[in-house]
Amino acid sequence: MKYYLTTPIYYVNAAPHIGHTYTTLAADTIKRLKRMQGYEPVLTTGTDEHGQKVERSAQAMGKSPAEFATVISNEFRSLWDRIGIQYDHFIRTTEARHHETVKWLFNRCLERGYIYKGSYTGQYCVPDETFHNDLKPGDPCPVCGRPTEIVTEENYFFKLSAFTDKLLKFYDENPDFILPEARRNEVLAFVRGGLTDLSVSRTTIQWGIPIEGKHVVYVWFDALTNYLSVAKDKDESLWPADLHLVGKEIARFHAVFWPAFLMAADLPLPKRVFAHGWLLFENDKMSKSRGNIVRTDPIREVMGIEALRYFLFREVVFGQDGTFSYDALVTRYNSELANGLGNLASRTLTMIKQYRDGVIPSASTELSVDHPLAAAARDAIDTASRAFDTFEFSKGLEAIWAMLSEVDRFIVEQAPWKLAKQPEAAQQLSDALYASAETLRIAVALLYPVMPESTANIWSQLGMTSDLATLELAKLAWGQLATGQPIGVIAPVFPRIEANSAIDRMRALEEVETARQAKLFGKEVPAKSEEPASEGTLLPPSPKIDIDDFVKVDIRVGKVLTAERVKGADKLLHLTVDIGEPEPRTIVAGIALSYQPEQMVGRKVAIVANLHPRKLRGIESNGMIVAASLEGAKPVLAGFLEDVPVGARLK
């Protein structure tokens, strides 16, 4: 059974960075998951190479648009190869096969009366390749804030206005077409507001797909058609696509324009569009203008790509905005990979080698489905499988690490190093080693889509000879590890990393890579100021207090259930938080400038639980959320790297 999934095609007016990598790693993870679920997945990615921005950038470099586009397209393709992306097709919009499909689709829409010729005068944003009918001369672009230009030209227009009711009916009949729910609601609101006809050709630029006279196809009709171009060229049975994976900033184009184009051409619509959130750098959106873009290669060279894969899908709730920082990357790596999974693999396999001559020991009947680790494994398999299937990667990984915590506790309780000194405890020792190895096997199988290289390494060290990539997840169960199986060569998988030196090295390589990429666009990177701009003032320490004063403060672990902005208050969020009481608490927190409401839902936070209630904007707040900041800087929430139960008290 086929499963056709796509990334966006990436625009060649920017070199690849971690935001592009995030989307592409997610697509690669989903592809690997689908193969383990019995599908025959096909992944397409590529580059979007037409448009006025590319034309101008090439001119500035003294290159033809085709030469310039090829250089940047190769940057994307070579990066995907270096980080092990298993794409099946790489499409470039400058390819003849794509041109043929675009013209074919354009003519279908034209023949069916949904494209007509007209003229346009109004504001146009070159960086965003977007017309803005409601702007006046001199107005900035509402998307990027940069100046718009007045454009007057003859265009072909697509009758998008004819599809308002058709699209709303389609969304109603297919509630999972656009996910997550927040993106669906945004799309519904946009369409309900009424659609206006859309320009689909330009006559004032030359770098595009020619259709008639001076007309070239405008960027979105061109770019979106790439998904269909691959299917028509390689295998028409691939269409319709099962999943378009995109960033939330282009959700509207994929969930409104694209299905309207296909409806007009009487073609099947894709089954789902999933729009994930932005990856923020230390709570700010990454952008060229801010100069805070993070590249992938420095992280790959210092930490390895598996560390980044794990961090992104464990740290960020997929679909919501998430924050990246070097410090959080190294901390989570050391805590959960080096000290967690890596340590479990090393000591389990070492004990099997030392106490059972490197052979998986026979287990007694007591290691049945009633064994505590068997129950933990069943829970992990069930929860992780369901979570991954709905792209809730962080939830699935949390379930796997809960199982790993159980086996760590089990090893400490059993103390195999002590049992090895007691001849009468030989079977108990074998049972302990088998149970630990079997839990490790199940964890590795579940983790493969997220960390394919590391898990395949551990799989081999366990002595497994089957291809982990083709394991059927539906058949994964406790007790399948063969006894008498010799283990492989033991080697460290996640060596511990010294944080300061690793972060310094990544930052240094980032500067080198930034300069290299800038030269691709004919730019020089200015030298950094030796004195970085302050992000707030460090306050002097407060007066000392007695321990008796401190213990009066009751700080609890809470989980945010709902979050919304407080009307008329830019800085306030209205939260409901579960801290283990019969009813959730209502808390008003001044964090709205740093966190979007959707970022908060499901997040575990620290709550001061014994403050007197206080009314803010008419809402009674029963507690205070704990955050840190310098004076005048944005707050950053206190959180937890390891799983901790709701209601636990901080001491």
pLDDT confidence of residue 580: 87
In a domain, 148, yes or no: yes
Assess whether 259 and 374 both reside in one domain: no
Please give the average per-residue pLDDT across 419-444, as a whole number. 96
Please give the average per-residue pLDDT across 481-495, as a whole number. 95
In a domain, 249, yes or no: yes
In a domain, 296, yes or no: no
In a domain, 535, yes or no: no
Write the pLDDT tens digit of every residue in 594-630: 888 877 888 899 999 998 888 777 788 999 999 887 5
In a domain, 188, yes or no: yes
Residues of the domain holding 421: 330-475
Answer yes or no: are the C-beta atoms of 311 and 328 closer than 8 Å.
Answer: yes
pLDDT confidence of residue 291: 54
Assess whether 348 and 251 both reside in one domain: no
Assess whether 134 and 27 both reside in one domain: yes
| Predicted TM-score (pTM) above 0.85 | no
- Least-confidence region, from 162-166, 199-203, 244-248, 459-463: 199-203
Phi and psi based region of residue 169 (left: phi greater than 0; alpha: psi -120 to 50; beta: remaining):
alpha
In the predicted structure, residue 536 carries a pLDDT above the cut 60: no
pLDDT confidence of residue 512: 95
In the predicted structure, residue 247 carries a pLDDT above the cut 90: yes
pLDDT confidence of residue 632: 53
In a domain, 80, yes or no: yes
pLDDT band of 139, cuts 50, 70, 90: confident
Bridge partner list, 607: 556, 625
Q: Which residue has the higher pLDDT, 388 or 132?
A: 388
In the predicted structure, residue 313 carries a pLDDT above the cut 60: yes
In the predicted structure, residue 336 carries a pLDDT above the cut 80: yes
Please give the average per-residue pLDDT across 235-243, as a whole number. 96
Q: Which residue has the higher pLDDT, 534 or 54?
A: 54
pLDDT confidence of residue 633: 63
In a domain, 498, yes or no: no
Query: Average model confidence (pLDDT) for the chain?
Result: 90
Domain count, the chain: 3
Assess whether 24 and 172 both reside in one domain: yes
Task: Report the CATH number at residue 267.
Answer: 3.40.50.620
Task: Report the CATH number at residue 337.
Answer: 1.10.730.10
pLDDT confidence of residue 565: 87
Answer yes or no: are the C-beta atoms of 507 and 499 closer than 8 Å.
Answer: no
Quote the Cα angle for 46-51-52, to 5°. 145
Amino acid in the structure at residue 234: K
In a domain, 539, yes or no: no
| The two structure tokens encoding residue 10 | 């990436």
Please give the average per-residue pLDDT across 351-357, as a whole number. 97
Where among 417, 444, 475 does a domain terminate?
475
pLDDT band of 530, cuts 50, 70, 90: very low
Assess whether 144 and 252 both reside in one domain: yes
pLDDT confidence of residue 287: 55
Q: Which residue has the higher pLDDT, 74 or 146?
A: 74
Three-state secondary structure along 469-501? HHCCHHHCCCCCCCCCCECCCCCCCCCCCCHHH
